[in-house]
Amino acid sequence: MKTGFPILEQVRVSPTIHRYLVLSGSGTYLGRMTQKHVPFSAIEAARDQIAPHVLRTPLVPAFPLSDACGAEVRLKLETLQATGAFKLRGATNAIMTLSKEDRAKGVVTCSTGNHGRGVAYAANLLGVRAVICMSELVPKVKIDGIKRFGGEVRICGKSQDEAEVEALRLMKEEGLVYLSPFDHPDVIAGQGTIGLELIEDWPELDMVIVPLSGGGLMAGIAKAVKTLKPDTRIIGVTMERGPAMYDSIRAGHPVEVVETPTLADSLGGGIGLENDYTFAMCRDLVDETLLVSEAEIAAGMRALYRDQQIVAEGGGSVGVAALLADKIQAKGKRIAVVISGRNVDMDIFTRIAGGEDVDLATVQPDGGA
């Protein structure tokens, strides 16, 4: 892919970003980028690199959920990471892998919230400047978390694509190093360390259920698990509203989606039509992908809180939601469910925990409905 300046040739380009490059005179791109897999060895290397800075999270029994499903279910609690989500793994690995020269330049990324928190935290730990570009759809709790960890926040547009345009502009004009939130080999390798831990802690497991968004988490976990235990069934779960990877796998190629307010806000955004890694890896390694509704997501959040005393955001609860909705053949299986994050607006969460099915498409800016 030729863009007119070399650094952009290393990143994925969506249609929105293509228009930005053309209109700004920055160049054009030709053809598709090669779809690749991140090697298993990179995941093993990431584990050693990030170990001093990232929690090896527990895999805990979920007895009420197990009873409801007729299965043995355990929860991988990425909610316990310092930033409240799994994204710390990939962000830490990516920043630690940078050269001293690139660290000195600072980093920029776009994020629906959790990746931005991870980048801000890891960058602050390593003394690196971090700029996080986000859309207007990102909840305030996630913006505040990024600022708390020292990240510089830029709010731009109503979609992840628009936020990415701003990130790439800053890369070009300020010389910052761009880190994709998911389609980056070091990010994927960092997320894949979860898969290593799952097999080490429960080698007998039959199935892993993973939240599905841009595919960085899924690609990394699937690569690790399928390498170590190929017969393990890998299932990706995402929301009905704007399911980019789900739609892309069914189309046979990356597609654009319209972003809509959803309880699973951390799963929002496209995967990029010029996707390098995650589309191919999810297509090749994932056994099944499925959708859950807003009401089902709320039920998953509610069950985790009432039965396990776990606060989880909507995107982190989709696996439990799918099990409770009987969308997965679980009976008699040993199932690990990744609970990917806890960074949720607590006013919204309190309403859901109290039994209300909240639809963010009807929630007013002041929090009313």
Question: What does the pLDDT look like over 87-146, one tens digit per residue?
Answer: 999 999 999 999 999 999 999 999 988 999 999 999 999 999 999 999 988 888 889 999
Task: Inform me whether the pLDDT recorded for 254 exceeds 80.
Answer: yes
Per-residue pLDDT at 259: 86
Task: Inform me whether the pLDDT recorded for 61 exceeds 90.
Answer: yes
Per-residue pLDDT at 46: 98
Instruction: Note the pLDDT tens digit of each residue in 143-199.
Output: 999 999 999 999 988 888 889 899 999 999 999 999 999 999 999 999 999 999 999
**CB 229, CB 204: distance < 8 Å:** no
User: CA 257 from chain center: how many Å?
Assistant: 16
Specify the length of the chain in residues.
369
Mean pLDDT, the chain, whole residue set: 89
Per-residue pLDDT at 363: 62
Per-residue pLDDT at 219: 98
Residue 29 makes CB contacts below 8 A (sequence gap 6+) with 1, 2, 3, 13, 18, 21, 274
Residue 148 φ/ψ, nearest 5 degrees: -60, -35
Per-residue pLDDT at 161: 80
Between 363 and 13, the higher pLDDT residue: 363
Give me the domains of the chain, ranges plus CATH numbers: 6-34+87-178 (3.40.50.1100), 41-86+185-355 (3.40.50.1100)
Tell me how far apart the alpha carbons of residues 235 and 290 are, in angstroms, rounded to a whole number.
Answer: 8
H helices present in 51-86, as ranges: 63-69
Task: Inform me whether the pLDDT recorded for 207 exceeds 50.
Answer: yes
Between 30 and 252, the higher pLDDT residue: 252
Task: Inform me whether the pLDDT recorded for 35 exceeds 80.
Answer: no
Task: Inform me whether the pLDDT recorded for 23 exceeds 90.
Answer: no
Per-residue pLDDT at 98: 97
**CB 170, CB 176: distance < 8 Å:** yes
Tell me how far apart the alpha carbons of residues 14 and 12 are, in angstroms, rounded to a whole number.
Answer: 7
Averaged pLDDT for residues 268-290:
95
Averaged pLDDT for residues 4-15:
40
Q: Give, to the nearest 10 degrees, the angle between helix 216-228 and helix 40-50.
A: 110
**CB 30, CB 4: distance < 8 Å:** no
Looking at 10-19, 52-61, 87-96, which range is the least confident one?
10-19
Name the helix (H) or strand (E) containing 161: helix 160-174
Tell me how far apart the alpha carbons of residues 124 and 118 are, in angstroms, rounded to a whole number.
Answer: 10
| Structural tokens at position 171 | 């890369």
Tell me how far apart the alpha carbons of residues 150 and 298 are, in angstroms, rounded to a whole number.
Answer: 31
Tell me how far apart the alpha carbons of residues 95 and 183 are, in angstroms, rounded to a whole number.
Answer: 15
Whole-model pTM: value is 0.88
**CB 223, CB 194: distance < 8 Å:** no
Residues taking part in catalysis: 87, 340
Averaged pLDDT for residues 232-248:
97
Q: Among all chains, which residue has been given the structure tokens 């393990």? A: 232
Per-residue pLDDT at 137: 83
Tell me how far apart the alpha carbons of residues 366 and 369 are, in angstroms, rounded to a whole number.
Answer: 9
Question: From its phi and psi, is residue 199 left (phi > 0), alpha (psi between -120 and 50) or beta?
Answer: alpha
Nearest residue to 197 (alpha-carbon basis) of 338, 320, 311: 338
Residue 279 φ/ψ, nearest 5 degrees: -60, -50
Instruction: Note the pLDDT tens digit of each residue in 316-349.
Output: 999 999 999 999 999 999 999 999 999 999 999 9
Per-residue pLDDT at 318: 98
